[in-house]
Structure 1
Amino acid sequence: MNLILAIVLYAGLAVFAFGIILLLFFLIFKKRLKAPLIVCLIGLIIAASPVGYNFYMAQKEHREELAKIEKKDKKFDKAERQFIKHIKKSTVATEFITQKYNKVWGELTENRTVNVANVDYNDHDSAVAAEGRRLLAQGKLDDADDYYVSAQGDYQKTKDYATANNRQELVYAKDVLSKTGSFVSVATRPNGTFQEYTDDVYKANQRHVRAIQKLKFSYSSIK
């Protein structure tokens, strides 16, 4: 194609040059200039056609590239919405677990005994372990982990659809994934004293919330 365009270009220039020669000849002999001017114009049109074609093709490729980027951006947004949806569900499940552990720990601290699954406990480790078994049997612990795993899959999709328009958003999503993972881990796997647990959960949740606030889509916009 480039060879053909080059031939057309040089052919047009040759016709234009021939028209210039005719124009000079007609000027010397004081002939009417209409014919050589027409030849020059034809030469210019022929020579300009490859340039116009290249410009058209460049514009077409540019439009196609923009369309591809727009399509990827839409897929990125869809994947990010799913990502936030699963992060949100994992967070809700984690907060539920935290409330249950806090309740057991709080009642035991206040009353020195707590009933978990119709069994009385008077030491923290046994009571918390029993509550963990009950949450596991109810599928609550799995909910927090499973939704987080789904969010990891969504994040991989956002990486596949990332363009220059959302590179920074991808960085924010990665941070959300990391901070949410820490929150889930700390909240669903209690360790240390009651005060240490509540402090660790609070700090992890605050880091998790700050990371989420940087994302383009807010929690409230995701159902």
Structure 2
Amino acid sequence: ATRQADYQYQQALANLDLASRSNISKTRQAYLGILSNISKIKADKQAIKSAKSSLRATQASYTAGLRTMADVLTAQTQLYNAQNTFATDEYNYINQLLQLKQLTGILNADDLSQINSWLEKPMQIAKNNIPAEQHLTKRKQPQTSTKFKSKTIKSPVATNKNRTNKIVVLSAGEVKQVDSDGDNIKTAMATPNTNNNIGKN
């Protein structure tokens, strides 16, 4: 019975050592995973910043008529992918942080409340970014014709009260009644003068 108890004790020590080694390995993996996710999150934030700048530039080019709708959608998709990657890495960071605290025995209610506050706040997709729909309605169309401002021009006949009319007799017998500015008012054939003896001997 004593030998059996000794064997059980040795087995318990071996199981404890195995559990301790496994716990140390998991703790190390969780710690390294947290460091890796911190680096990923920093890179994801930079990627989101670059994607937003690219989207704004593409929207501005589309508004000016230099880019197509496909270019705007591609830039917007890149922004959404960067934000999705950021959310995934952030979730992995929270998960491994919980695992590390659990393995080290320091997980408490305050940690859970803090993590719940992180998870309750929804991620804003394309936050602080100009929506593409606003630019789609402001796109400049190429000008095909020149626009002129309308201007009302008053008739000189109605404004000029000092205009005088005169009669001009043409050599072909045609009579024109014109005003002082030379505008033709009335044209008629002149009546032959039967009493005119010019040219007779």
TM-score of the superposed pair, with normalisation by structure 2: 0.42
Structure of greater Rg = 2
The structure where strand makes up a greater share of residues is: 2
The one of the two structures with greater contact order (alpha-carbon pairs below 8 A, sep at least 6) is: 1
The structure where helix makes up a greater share of residues is: 1
